[in-house]
Amino acid sequence: MYDYSLEVRQSFDRLVAEGPMPKLFAFDLDYTLWPAWVDTHVDPPLRRASGDAINKVVDSNGQPLSFYPHVPTLLLSLARTSIPIAAASRTSAPTAAKQALSGLFLKDTDPAPADEPPHSPRRSVEDRTRIVKAISLFDYMEIYPGSKITHFNRIHKDSRVPYEDMIFFDDERRNSEVERKLGVHFVEISNSGLDLETFENGVRGWRAKRAAEQSGEEDLTDSPPRGQL
């Protein structure tokens, strides 16, 4: 399988350098981070596929489940920037979802320092690589049936991040109510799941909305009082 990690990481770093980032990234799970509904497509319990398997769990029948190809590096890159990550899923099988997140192990490799002195001993890729559980990358997890409004109210209460500084990736349009009612920037995912292009477009869309809102506030501030026109 092709390794997208370097390509995705470099693109992520460029995106961060371009401008401000949301203060919290939230993701649905089913058909957003992985290609299945864990309440109907798999038979729990889910566990790591083998002792050294990366990004792969299996259910009780041996059916595999993995993140979409770009997802591991996107999550790891966000974690490196210390931007909080939240899971917001309305699945009716929260235990299975958490089993999947606990069983999906990811490779996190430190990039080689660009400014390393020429004669200093370089650490090998193996020395710069650690294995992490996907679930450890999530700062907040709201995984239970019901409206995503409830999920985000709890995320907001726990994180204290303003709704307008959050971005949410989800494959179901009905969940865009979090944007209409709360102000969370909603990004609809296609049926092929989260990928780098959708992620980048989502962040740039959030930036554009933020800039428009700030411009509108400045226009109101600069407007002369009535009677002085």
**Spatial contact of 28 and 88, defined as CB atoms under 8 Å apart:** yes
Q: How far apart are CA 103 and CA 55, in angstroms?
A: 8
Let me know if 158 is a catalytic residue. Answer: no
Let me know if 165 is a catalytic residue. Answer: no
Paired tokens of 12: 């992520």
**Closest listed residue to residue 77, CA positions, set 137, 164, 152:** 137
Paired tokens of 143: 């995984």
Paired tokens of 196: 């780098």
Q: Which listed residue (13, 30, 59, 115) is catalytic?
A: 30
Q: How far apart are CA 213 and CA 146, in angstroms?
A: 30
What's the count of helices (H) and strands (E) in the chain, helices before strands? 6, 10
Q: Does the N-terminal peptide bond of residue 94 adopt cis geometry, omega within 30 degrees of 0?
A: no
**Spatial contact of 129 and 159, defined as CB atoms under 8 Å apart:** no
φ, ψ of residue 211 to 5 degrees: the values are -65, -40
Q: Which listed residue (3, 28, 115, 139) is catalytic?
A: 28
- Catalytically annotated residues: 28, 30
